[in-house]
Amino acid sequence: MFDRTLADVGRRDWADDGDGGTARFATVGCGTYARDVSIPAMAAGEYAEPTVVVSGDAEKRAALTGEFGVTALDYDEFEAGVATDEYDAVYVATPNRLHLPHAETAAGHGKDVICEKPLEATVDRAESLVAACEDAGVRLMTAYRMQTDPVMRRLREFVAGGGIGELRRATGDFTFPVLAGDAGPEQWRLDGRLAGGGALFDVGVYPLNTARFLSGDDPVAVSATTRSPDPAFDEVEQHADARVEFDGWVGGFSGSYTGRPNTRLELLGADGRIAVRSAFEPDADREVVVETPEGTLEATGAGADETVEEFDYFAHATATGGAIDPDGRDGLVDVRTLAAALRSADAGERVEL
Residues forming contacts to its own copies in the complex (CB under 8 A) are 165, 168-169, 171, 173, 175, 221, 223, 225, 227, 229, 239, 241, 243, 245, 248, 250, 252, 254, 256, 258-260, 262, 264, 266, 268-273, 291, 293, 348-350
Pick between residue 116 and residue 241 the one whose CB is nearest to its own copies: 241
> Of 218, 223, 197, 194, which is closest to residue 208 (Cα–Cα)?
218
Cα separation, 62 vs 71, in Å, equals 9
**In sequence order, what DSSP letters do the residues of 283-338 get, joined into one string?**
T---EEEEEETTEEEEEES-S--HHHHHHHHHHHHHHHT---SSBHHHHHHHHHHH
Taking the C-alpha atoms of residue 165 and residue 273, their distance in angstroms, rounded to an integer, is 9
- For the CB of residue 185, give the shortest distance to its own copies in the complex, in Å: 18
Q: Which is nearer to its own copies, 329 or 350 (CB)?
A: 350
By C-beta, is 65 or 296 nearer to its own copies? 296
For its own copies, which is the closer residue by CB, 193 or 350?
A: 350
* Of residues 84 and 225, the one with the C-beta less far from its own copies: 225
The least distance separating its own copies from the CB of residue 163, rounded to whole angstroms, comes to 12
Between residues 221 and 302, which has the closer beta carbon with respect to its own copies? 221
Least separation, in Å, of the C-beta of 258 and its own copies? Answer: 7
- CB 48, min distance to its own copies, A: 36
Q: How far is the CB of 157 from its own copies (least distance, A)?
A: 20
Query: Cα separation of 73 and 255, whole Å?
Result: 35
Cα 120 to Cα 98: distance, rounded to the nearest angstrom: 8
| Residue 304 Cα distances to 31, 145, 286, angstroms | 24, 12, 10
Q: For residues 195 and 16, give the distance between their C-alpha atoms in angstroms, rounded to a whole number.
A: 38
The nearest distance, CB 84 to its own copies, in angstroms, is 47
Q: CA 162 to CA 187: how far, in whole Å?
A: 44
